[in-house]
Amino acid sequence: MAAKKTKVVFIKRVEDRDKAGEKVVIEAGSKSEMTASELKKYQDCVRVIKDYGDEQLRPVLASGAGPDATGGADEGEGEGDEGSGD
């Protein structure tokens, strides 16, 4: 029976040695699958990727609505102290 593997993404660059003693470098942002023992070894360097099935759904905000693409009224408008030029 094969060990269950977890999908992860590396959040840090990792330098290690393989079984033959060769240097292995894994860049940040690389995606991989790890067993539970490998995950324990690299727990500070990886983030577990949640599998949403075949649809690859992204989490939705609590309100159910996505962010407004038109922007808000507080984007550079108003009477702030920034840029007054005095």
**pTM to 2 decimal places:** 0.54
Q: What is the pLDDT of residues 4-33, one digit of tens each?
A: 999 999 999 999 999 999 999 999 999 999
Which pLDDT score, from 0 to 100, does residue 14 have?
93
Which pLDDT score, from 0 to 100, does residue 54 have?
52
Which pLDDT score, from 0 to 100, does residue 58 have?
58
Distance CA 15, CA 45 (A): 11
At residue 46, φ and ψ (nearest 5 deg) are -130, 160
Q: What is the pLDDT of residues 29-71, one digit of tens each?
A: 999 999 999 999 999 999 999 876 555 555 556 655 555 666 6
